[in-house]
Structure 1
Amino acid sequence: MFVKNSVMSLKERWNNFPFKPEKIPFFYGWVILFASTVGVLASAPGQTMGVSTFTDYLIEHIHISRNQISSAYMFGTIGSSFLLTWAGKQYDKYGARWIVLAASSMLAIVLLMLSQSDRIIRLFVKETESSVYVGVAMVIMIFLFFMLRFSGQGVLTMVSRNMLMKWFIARRGFVNGISSVLISLGFSIAPLTFDELIQGTSWRYAWILMAFGIGIIFILFAFLFFRDNPEDLGMIPDGEKHGHRERNVTIKPFKQFSLSEARKTLPFWLFSLPLALFALYITGFTFHLISIFEDAGLDRDKALAIFIPISFMSVGISFLGGWISDRIHLKYLLYFFLVGELIAVLSLANLDGGFYYYGFIVGHGMGNGLYSVLMTVTWPRFYGRQNLGRISGFVMALIVFASALGPVLFSFSFTKFGGYHIANFGLAFIIVVLLIFSYKGNNPQDKFEFEESND
């Protein structure tokens, strides 16, 4: 009892400090929408597109090969994936505010360490030609990538998204669409922004500036505005009551699934695996972004600039997909998502400056626009909010694990087969298989409602 009360006091006692959310003149969920969006954007340095801008600088200064740094990234990311289900459990226990403070503190620390990564390695082995140098460098980079991916791509992203989903039910897709628009815009300009920061200072100082921004400004922001369940503050989701069904779509679950129960349902895998596959493809593409475009005869500026037109398409699809997800069955968005993935990988396999370049923009824009909708809306609608941290933590673990394989898959495709096309054709085959089975991706809650109506 003492332990339980201690946990509750930590999670809820400071909810009304430094202000009472229920006292503001409008529903606090709209503040949560803003805070959640900022939280996901703050994870950018821990995302692959945040790392990709620094990849060539790391290769140059650490003196390891592209395959070796890809492998270090893979092992570090895989290691982080094994802890994300546990992190989701801690989120369920302690709430969004405290877990985000811990994750952002870790992210700031690892960014400082990455800025000095080559110097840290040389504290242990001074000579790059030494027989043990590569081994030491790999161990240190695996550890740094582990911290980066766990705190940034993993915990900070997961908790920020889940917090928003707890504050809305009937408008869940709509608010996620708004958030996704802003996140898509932010992530699309992140590589160019990071590159300009590097060119304006250096690769070291770019990471140092990010570390101070997250470690001071964002931590203060999160402490002020992040809150977990609306019920803990005397409020309800959406600020008003809603039934279980609206517009012939189940929006409020009849049953609260545990993680083990959720994993036994087919829709869980039909939605989680495409999301994981998208993460694999996008990390492989962005990690080797410059090299992929050079292999297709396109320069660095052309590579970095592709995110701008993609962002415009992603923004429109994110908002429309979020809005319409409150009104239709999610499996229809899953179809669209998988078709976008298929177009993207086939275009990337044949990349040129013409038809396939624009084909990639269309396909990637479709997938990127719907990724956050499916990743965020699916789990609370299908399985409830009670164990949302555990369930989404496991899904995030799958996604992070898959994302770890992307850079290595693309790297070995290039070094062993002389191009990136083999990796893309392999991904296309898997996407087609998932597309065939996606018609079975129905909401498990529909079955319970049907059973209830016949009692």
Structure 2
Amino acid sequence: MSKLYSPDFPFRPAGLPFHYGWVIAIASAASMVASIPGQTIGVNVFNDELIVALGLTRSQVALAYFIGTAVSGAILLWAGKIYDRIGARRLIVASSISLGLSLFYLSVVDWIPLAIARLWSLQGALNWMLVASITVGFFLIRFTGQGFVTMAGRNMVAKWWEYHRGKVLPFTGIGVSVCFSLAPIVFYELIQATDWRIAWRVLGLALALGVAFFGWLIFRDNPQECGLSVDGGIAPGEKQKDNPEFSVVRDFTRAEAIRNFAFWIYNGIFALQALFITAYVFHVLDLAQQLGIPDKRILGLFLPSAVIGGLISIGVGWYSDRFRLKYFAAFMASGIALSAAALVVPVEGFLIPAIIIGMSITSGCFGPISGAFIARYYGVSHIGAISGVFMSSMIIASATGPLLFSYCKDYTGSYFAAFVATLIGAIALVIASFWADNPQRKLKREE
């Protein structure tokens, strides 16, 4: 097994005529794409099929999604240490296979309660059995997909790039954004061409066989184990030399990081984005009916948002290597505020452009900031443990969003109150971002 995962097997990255960090950046992007079946944007198009197959209400499915996602997020709080112990390569192989098997489970999620009911001599599956079955399925894909598959790729890049991390991430991020935006349409067409069970099995096979092999072949945890250097010897820019914003004076432990004010501001921004975007995507077809927009038109908004977001990502990544990261965090929070404002006041001529621009800003900032934040503020020695808390917050928030929005619709008849709350929270985070300073700056002054 040690030979199988040797950094120089089946080829030596140090023997290639270019810096292997570029390959790592592309491999990281591929892992982000591979996580789509475990992301909300990859699940939402299956919701109506699940509601019919299981005979549940939309709120019951949202509740199952909340429980499954929240439990996975809570476990991920501690599971992040696994990354620090086994590295990206072993983790991507294990998590890809696990996500693939989880999709196979979901393809028979309605059969399992029926089989149990027959064993218990019941005339049919009880409602709680149906809810429990889908909850387990949601837990499995969220824990393996949004959790470990995403973690393996994102943290790996942080170890291979330091001063030029912001420039590298956006170029691969464009492809990721486009793939995420196309996923609902592609999955929808796959379901229409086959059925929802076969669609999940096709995706499961692609992950368990294709992505797992790709990860084993290409992934390498860090440049040092390959006999290479961070950034491939590319010198830092003039503004980065001796700048405490870009130089890690001391690596933080997880306990130290979570006591830092800035950590929770970034956590708050990404958690609110996860909550809002997940709720929006989860209820997008129902929201389309409420707004009087055709299904295909509202699904089609993801593509222009991805393209514009990709361009924004390049700009944010490029300039984040020159300026303080907290300003870009404020910019990201403003994108959430704009999207929410558009839905609070759905004025014709403003609604669609504002949604596209707001979503573009949040998606464009997501990659560069999430890929640089922990490594720049707290170092990489405990990046798995710290990112476990960071991702746990996002996952739990993404679990909460669909349920809260669903209950808001059930009790008020619309999503208006939920959009207002999102807008208020986003504005508060925009303001708080200006005090989210890099703790390395203080350490540099104390030297």
**Which TM-score band (shorter chain)?**
over 0.9
- Aligned residue number for residue 232 of structure 1: 225
RMSD between aligned residues: 1.9
Provide the C-alpha distance between the structure 1 equivalents of 2:377 and 2:327, rounded to a whole number of angstroms.
Answer: 15
Provide the C-alpha distance between the structure 2 equivalents of 1:157 and 1:360, rounded to a whole number of angstroms.
Answer: 26
- Residue 125 of structure 1 deviates from its aligned partner by 2.9
What TM-score does the superposition give when structure 1 sets the normalisation length?
Answer: 0.94
Q: Deviations over 1:85-144 (max 9, x none)?
A: 3321011011001111111111000101111111122112369x9796110011111111
- Aligned residue number for residue 166 of structure 1: 159
- Residue 436 of structure 1 deviates from its aligned partner by 2.1
From 44, 54, 58, give the equivalent of 2:46.
Answer: 54
- Aligned residue number for residue 385 of structure 1: 380
- Aligned residue number for residue 129 of structure 2: 136
Instruction: Between 80-89 and 361-370, report the one with greater CA deviation.
Output: 80-89
Change (3 A) 1:312 1:241: closer
What TM-score does the superposition give when structure 2 sets the normalisation length?
Answer: 0.95
- Aligned residue number for residue 4 of structure 1: none
Change (3 A) 1:12 1:246: farther
- Residue 353 of structure 1 deviates from its aligned partner by 5.0
**Is 1:39 matched with 2:34?**
no
From 84, 101, 116, give the equivalent of 1:92.
Answer: 84
**Is 1:344 matched with 2:300?**
no
One-letter code of the match for 1:137? L
- Aligned residue number for residue 429 of structure 1: 424
CA contact (8 A) 1:11 1:94 kept: no
CA contact (8 A) 1:189 1:307 kept: yes
- Aligned residue number for residue 407 of structure 2: 412
From 259, 266, 280, give the equivalent of 1:285.
Answer: 280
Change (3 A) 1:293 1:169: same
Provide the C-alpha distance between the structure 1 equivalents of 2:418 and 2:340, rounded to a whole number of angstroms.
Answer: 9
- Aligned residue number for residue 78 of structure 1: 70
SS at match of 1:250: coil
Pairing of 1:149-298 with structure 2 (within 5 A):
149-240=142-233, 246=240, 248=243, 250-298=245-293
CA contact (8 A) 2:94 2:212 kept: no
Change (3 A) 1:263 1:242: farther
SS at match of 1:210: helix
Provide the C-alpha distance between the structure 2 equivalents of 1:158 and 1:62, rounded to a whole number of angstroms.
Answer: 32
Q: Deviations over 1:320-358 (max 9, x none)?
A: 111111111001101111111101011123336531121
Q: Deviations over 1:403-441 (max 9, x none)?
A: 100110111111111111111101111122222221111
**Is 1:28 matched with 2:16?**
no
SS at match of 1:14: coil
Change (3 A) 1:320 1:16: same
One-letter code of the match for 2:54? I
Provide the C-alpha distance between the structure 1 equivalents of 2:69 and 2:59, rounded to a whole number of angstroms.
Answer: 15
Provide the C-alpha distance between the structure 1 equivalents of 2:219 and 2:135, rounded to a whole number of angstroms.
Answer: 31
CA contact (8 A) 1:341 1:364 kept: yes
**Is 1:122 matched with 2:114?**
yes
CA contact (8 A) 1:43 1:153 kept: yes
- Residue 236 of structure 1 deviates from its aligned partner by 1.2
> Can you give the 5+ residue segments of structure 1 that lack an aligned partner in the other structure?
1-8
Change (3 A) 1:406 1:118: same
CA contact (8 A) 2:278 2:401 kept: yes
One-letter code of the match for 1:230? P
- Residue 47 of structure 1 deviates from its aligned partner by 0.4
**Is 1:323 matched with 2:315?**
no
Provide the C-alpha distance between the structure 1 equivalents of 2:391 and 2:440, rounded to a whole number of angstroms.
Answer: 22
Provide the C-alpha distance between the structure 2 equivalents of 1:196 and 1:19, rounded to a whole number of angstroms.
Answer: 39
CA contact (8 A) 1:61 1:118 kept: yes
CA contact (8 A) 2:41 2:281 kept: yes
SS at match of 2:7: helix
**Is 1:301 matched with 2:293?**
no
**Is 1:445 matched with 2:440?**
yes
Change (3 A) 1:403 1:13: closer
**Is 1:335 matched with 2:327?**
no
Q: Percent identity?
A: 35
- Residue 13 of structure 1 deviates from its aligned partner by 5.5
CA contact (8 A) 2:244 2:440 kept: no
Provide the C-alpha distance between the structure 2 equivalents of 1:221 and 1:13, rounded to a whole number of angstroms.
Answer: 13
- Aligned residue number for residue 141 of structure 2: 148
